[in-house]
Amino acid sequence: MAPEAAYVPIIDFGRLNEGREQRSMVIKEIGNACSRLGFFQIVNHGICQSILGGALSTAFDFFKLPSEEKMKFMSGDVHRPVRYSTSLKDGIDEIQFWRVILKHYAHPLDHWIDFWPKNPPNYRENMGKYCTEERKLALELMSAITESLGLGPKYLVNKMDEGMQVMAVNCYPPCPQPDISLGLPPHSDYTCLTIVLQSSPGLEILDTEDGSWKMVPKMQSSLQVHVGDHLEVLSNGRYKSVVHRAILNRGSTRISLASLHSLGMDEKMETAKELVDEKNPKGYKESSFRDFLNFLSKNDLAEGKSFIDTLKIKN
Ligand SMILES: O=C(O)CCC(=O)C(=O)O
Ligand SMILES: [Fe+2]
């Protein structure tokens, strides 16, 4: 049975720059979405269709390459800045995971782009343009989000300027047994925020109100924004990182491009002291992107291990 569609707030991002009144309405909408669901879609985000389409099509072309070409990037080391891996393997409880992934660092672009695949020949150009646009958008979104928390639009600007961007290029091939398999196990992202572009539906989010999985509906040219663990930490739990998973289908390959944005590798994300008081004691330990990578190298997300759980302080 097809899962129920999620009610997902749709934010018209263009309104952020249409004067003070519009901006404050959008900031409020973003804040509500972050606290209710940890997830929203944005339209009118300013990234043109040719850049979105170019990034998706070069990603499809990459995964169609002969395997020896892709294997050049194969690594199980989560600390590598460019990494190809497959999880076409058995998981727990008979569930199989079915995903191929290319992950690479993307900011600063001129530092990392020479490490990216040279094939397909337009990969660097198309993905480079896309990553640059995604990063601009992520910085604007973070400003809006810190504003929505009452911390002001500049609260994290300097640290985000020095921050990391990782591009996860996910490929889910057609799966013969989609009912007993998953593309990606339930998880939340370690990031401040993640922006995702998908070629077709397949992303589900956990509705914490009733514990059910809901399908994110497809909207033309929209992008999905996930609140990540580090934003939950910053906000002292006012905003919750969204638990999500990717499901599969029998018929066609699905691609998703997840642009993961965080502070610098060793910069610790801390709870904003402005959001801590007697009624709301500090609920989280500080941590960095490197702390997450160290966690990931020792724990399997497919076994339900969760980074954010290791950060929670029991008050
Ligand atoms: O494929 C998707 O829609 C989700 C991808 C994702 O959650 C991730 O890369 O962290
Ligand atoms: Fe994710």
Enter the ipTM: 0.98
Point out the least confidently predicted range of 1-10, 39-48, 207-216: 1-10
pLDDT at 26: 97
Contact, 237 vs 283, CB < 8 A?
Answer: yes
Residue 98, pLDDT > 90, answer no
pLDDT digits (tens, 9 = 90+) for 17-57: 899 999 999 999 999 999 999 999 999 999 999 999 999 99
DSSP-derived pairing of the beta strands 100-105 and 10-12: unpaired
Q: Which atom of ligand 1 is nearest to the CA of 189?
A: 10
For range 249-267, the mean pLDDT? 96
pLDDT at 2: 67
Closest CA to 134 of 247, 235, 256: 256
Contact, 188 vs 308, CB < 8 A?
Answer: yes
Joined together, the tokens standing for residue 195 give 């922006």
pLDDT at 29: 97
pLDDT at 151: 98
Contact, 190 vs 228, CB < 8 A?
Answer: yes
- The residues with which 168 forms a beta bridge, in sequence order, are 103, 258
Distance of CA 205 to the CA centre of its chain: 12
pLDDT at 92: 47
pLDDT at 95: 60
DSSP-derived pairing of the beta strands 96-97 and 181-182: parallel
Contact, 228 vs 241, CB < 8 A?
Answer: yes
- The residues with which 103 forms a beta bridge, in sequence order, are 83, 168
Return the amino acid letter for 159.
K
pLDDT at 179: 85
- Ligand having the closest approach to the CA of 170: 1
pLDDT digits (tens, 9 = 90+) for 54-82: 999 999 999 999 999 999 999 989 999 99
- Ligand having the closest approach to the CA of 184: 1
Protein residue whose Cα sits closest to atom 9 of ligand 1: 258
pLDDT-based confidence at residue 91 (cuts at 50, 70, 90): very low
For range 296-305, the mean pLDDT? 85
For range 153-167, the mean pLDDT? 97
pLDDT at 96: 74
pLDDT digits (tens, 9 = 90+) for 144-153: 999 999 999 9
The CA 100 to ligand 2 mean position distance, Å, reads 14
Q: Which atom of ligand 1 is nearest to the CA of 254?
A: 1
Assess whether the previous peptide bond of 120 is cis (omega < 30° from 0): yes
The CA 147 to ligand 2 mean position distance, Å, reads 24
Distance of CA 290 to the CA centre of its chain: 17
Protein residue whose Cα sits closest to atom 6 of ligand 1: 258
Distance of CA 135 to the CA centre of its chain: 12
pLDDT at 89: 57
Contact, 201 vs 246, CB < 8 A?
Answer: no
pLDDT-based confidence at residue 239 (cuts at 50, 70, 90): very high
Protein residue whose Cα sits closest to atom 8 of ligand 1: 258
Point out the least confidently predicted range of 96-100, 121-125, 235-239, 254-258: 96-100
pLDDT-based confidence at residue 90 (cuts at 50, 70, 90): very low
- Phi–psi pair at 193, nearest 5 degrees: -150, 155
CA atoms within 13 A on the CB side of 157: 9
d(CA 227, CA 49): 24
pLDDT at 255: 97
Residue 109, pLDDT > 90, answer yes
Among 8, 85, 170, 254, name the best residue to mutate to test ligand 1's pocket (greatest count of ligand atoms within 8 A of Cβ): 170
Tell me, what DSSP letter sits at residue 34? H
Among 63, 100, 203, name the best residue to mutate to test ligand 1's pocket (greatest count of ligand atoms within 8 A of Cβ): 203
- Ligand having the closest approach to the CA of 259: 1
pLDDT at 1: 59
For ligand 1, residues with CB inside 6 Å are 168, 170, 184, 189, 196, 198, 202-203, 244, 246, 256, 258
For range 127-138, the mean pLDDT? 98
pLDDT at 94: 56
The CA 225 to ligand 2 mean position distance, Å, reads 10
Contact, 130 vs 119, CB < 8 A?
Answer: no
Q: Nearest 5 degrees, angle CA 141-CA 143-CA 149?
A: 105
Tell which wins on pLDDT, 27 or 304. Answer: 27
